[in-house]
Structure 1
């Protein structure tokens, strides 16, 4: 038994052909050639901003083409190993074919995911904010647990994380955490996490060791490119400065370096305290505010998305997108997709979120196609 059959290989080949069609690889090859010619033109770097945008587009196109070519190579190698193993009766070659097929399945999952990202912002960076909901001290601890889970996930993905505002609670956990994630498809991937997350466990703060249910909210917005304009009237802003209270630069707890910006018409509040100066914190806070206001306006315009999300929910029971149960049994279950795992540590401790993220996007695409 090799764990892989010729029928399995044929199924993988059909899946690869389908993904290649989704990604329009012939067109992407044309894009690569066209962008390479453009980048070689005299005076290309005279407009540095436009040139950087073109080079970023060229990099994405090359990656799309290379990923498909790598997938074809894995498929060819798996076919060769399986056929030779069958011919000479070598189980090790059969095992090699199974290993290559497993790698190809993972690659195809990534490629399928990219094909579902139709918005340019999906391929860019993301701003994630985690806030405690119902549950008091427990909710603040849960906020910290989610924060650490996402840091591990970003690290596994090879994404860069910049902390914008991580505020410790007085007793345990965090009052809030806002951070920017930079990397390929960061926003597209992480928007699957937007919503209410519910934790059930034995309370570490309860002397009677009773079971506690607590909640935290995760908000995800895209980092906006410079060419997207969001008009903000300075008269609509209230800007407060205060002592930073968490990890940060040299000015923490010595100067009023932290910044809080309130957008009065919408009530949107953004804070930033992890940069070294008040000026830097204000610039980052304004970037986050731009992204949040843009996302709010986009949600208003997109009737389909609004219908999918429904009215804005409280961070409380009945509104969660995912349940994390640590007692009386162990289970992580997504309420949207039905995907579940009993390996809670792999999710919370190791940041193994890809299965949930991929399942969400497959579910969302299916709902969209059905509507």
Structure 2
């Protein structure tokens, strides 16, 4: 029972970290706005409102689901204590550990606070020096990222792919569409190195292979770019010397 008490304190503490009360008030306000008959009079504004609403619910829904499950587990635990059912108590403890892992994932998500972290992203992999061995290393990385994205529940699209001459791939570009996919992937940017006994070397020598990974956010297409007129410079040039076709008299 002590573990359940401690966990409840953790849940309540995390609720404050996520500022759920403020988010839920904002959700009510946005849902009221979306219910107005004039909501779709401005499609661009309506799209931005719905996007913000979904972003807020990405925080509140998982936490509420976890907390409700926790309360149910606590009630089951009380009953299990009365009946002294050790098998059920152990099963409930395992379920509690799973809930705490989900809560930890939300805490990690909280750290992704940059304005672009919530965006979808492109992830590109390019094999470096090392020939077939590097192409195989790039293929290993591509499978790893694809499985990670699948586990996260993101939509996966392959934008471009070039196969290696013998094995693996020379390059590949993924499009990961999902909440915070850029935030989770951005730290993968850079050069990745693999040192191993190459399965492509008959002499079983050790090889070092490289593959570069680049991650870029997918920017909202509706973004507005304002250009200050004072930043614009217009130059008018003329050809020097005599020339035909009025080159010296026409701007």
Question: 1:94: which partner in 2?
Answer: 89
Question: 1:127: which partner in 2?
Answer: 122
Question: 1:118: which partner in 2?
Answer: 113
Deviation at 1:153, TM superposition (A): 1.4
Question: 1:82: which partner in 2?
Answer: 77
- Residues 234-249 of structure 1 aligned to structure 2 (within 5 Å): none
TM-score (norm 2): 0.83
- Which of these residues, 164, 170, 179, is aligned with residue 184 of structure 1? 179
Q: Does the CA-based 8 Å contact 1:154-1:161 persist in structure 2?
A: yes
Question: 2:245: which partner in 1?
Answer: none
Deviation per residue, 1:116-135 (Å, 9 max, x gap): 12123211201101112332
Deviation at 1:230, TM superposition (A): 7.0
- Distance between the aligned counterparts of 1:104 and 1:73, measured in 2? 10
Provide structure 1 residue ranges, at least 5 long, that are not aligned to the other structure.
Answer: 1-5, 232-371
- Which of these residues, 44, 62, 66, is aligned with residue 71 of structure 1? 66
Deviation at 1:228, TM superposition (A): 3.6
Other structure's SS at 2:130 match: coil
Q: Are 2:158 and 1:172 aligned?
A: no
Q: 1:195 to 1:68 in 2, by over 3 A?
A: same
Question: 2:25: which partner in 1?
Answer: 30
- Distance between the aligned counterparts of 2:63 and 2:168, measured in 1? 43
- Distance between the aligned counterparts of 1:12 and 1:190, measured in 2? 30
Deviation per residue, 1:133-165 (Å, 9 max, x gap): 332321111011111111111112211112122
Deviation per residue, 1:232-286 (Å, 9 max, x gap): xxxxxxxxxxxxxxxxxxxxxxxxxxxxxxxxxxxxxxxxxxxxxxxxxxxxxxx
Question: 1:203: which partner in 2?
Answer: 198
Q: Which one scores higher on RCO, CA 8 angstroms, separation ≥ 6?
A: 2
- Distance between the aligned counterparts of 2:159 and 2:152, measured in 1? 20
Q: 1:14 to 1:192 in 2, by over 3 A?
A: farther
Deviation at 1:89, TM superposition (A): 0.8
Question: 1:223: which partner in 2?
Answer: 218
CA RMSD of aligned residues (A): 1.9
Q: Does the CA-based 8 Å contact 1:74-1:100 persist in structure 2?
A: no
Other structure's SS at 1:226 match: coil
Q: 1:132 to 1:192 in 2, by over 3 A?
A: same
Q: Are 2:6 and 1:11 aligned?
A: yes
Q: Are 2:183 and 1:193 aligned?
A: no
Q: 1:14 to 1:216 in 2, by over 3 A?
A: farther
Q: Does the CA-based 8 Å contact 1:77-1:97 persist in structure 2?
A: no
TM-score (norm 1): 0.57
Q: 1:229 to 1:201 in 2, by over 3 A?
A: farther
- Which of these residues, 135, 156, 166, is aligned with residue 161 of structure 1? 156
Other structure's SS at 2:64 match: helix
Could you list the structure 1 runs, at least 4 aligned residues long, displaced by more than 4 angstroms after superposition: none
Q: Does the CA-based 8 Å contact 1:142-1:199 persist in structure 2?
A: yes
Q: Does the CA-based 8 Å contact 1:124-1:184 persist in structure 2?
A: yes
Question: 2:241: which partner in 1?
Answer: none
Q: Does the CA-based 8 Å contact 2:120-2:218 persist in structure 1?
A: yes
Q: Does the CA-based 8 Å contact 2:126-2:211 persist in structure 1?
A: yes
Q: Does the CA-based 8 Å contact 1:85-1:94 persist in structure 2?
A: yes
- Distance between the aligned counterparts of 1:103 and 1:188, measured in 2? 23
